[in-house]
Amino acid sequence: MKIMSILDPKCIILPLKGKEKKEIIRELIDVLAQNKKIKEKDKEEVFKCVMEREKLGSTGVGLGVAIPHGRTQAVDRIVAALGISPEGVEFDTLDGEPVHFAFLIVSPLEATSDYLRAISYVARLFKDKFFREALKNASSVEEAIKIIKQEDNF
């Protein structure tokens, strides 16, 4: 799997405007709707499914990374949005540290294996300290895309 197969470059936000978990998740869902990855009328359903998942345990996995995700009938394929916050934001993370990267993944209900594979791949990708540092220091969305594509090729 390649990140860019689920992440449209137009769905990358740099910098994130939100300062806490719910704001960030709404911001990422809004960019999916603006770019026709989800329907405007389905934004609230997508938000609810992601927040239901958050109730099970924070998707702020540590190392400055959050991977909020959910499964819903509002999408017919896996879609993603990435938000980057160079200064970091509050996300109720497992390690208590601020989040610099919020990678939202929304999947159809029936795509279980691809959904789990996408989450796993994103988690592995963001474990790389050099990748995180390069992405955190990206000065534009174009630069972030270049960094992601470079890592995607390995």
Q: What is 43-69 written as a DSSP string?
A: HHHHHHHHHHHHHHS--EEETTEE--E
119: which residues sit within 8 A by CB, 6+ positions away? 67, 69, 105
**Catalytic residue (one of 69, 89, 104, 105):** 69
DSSP 86: E
Beta bridge partners of 107: 71
69 is catalytic: yes
List, by residue number, the catalytic residues.
Answer: 69
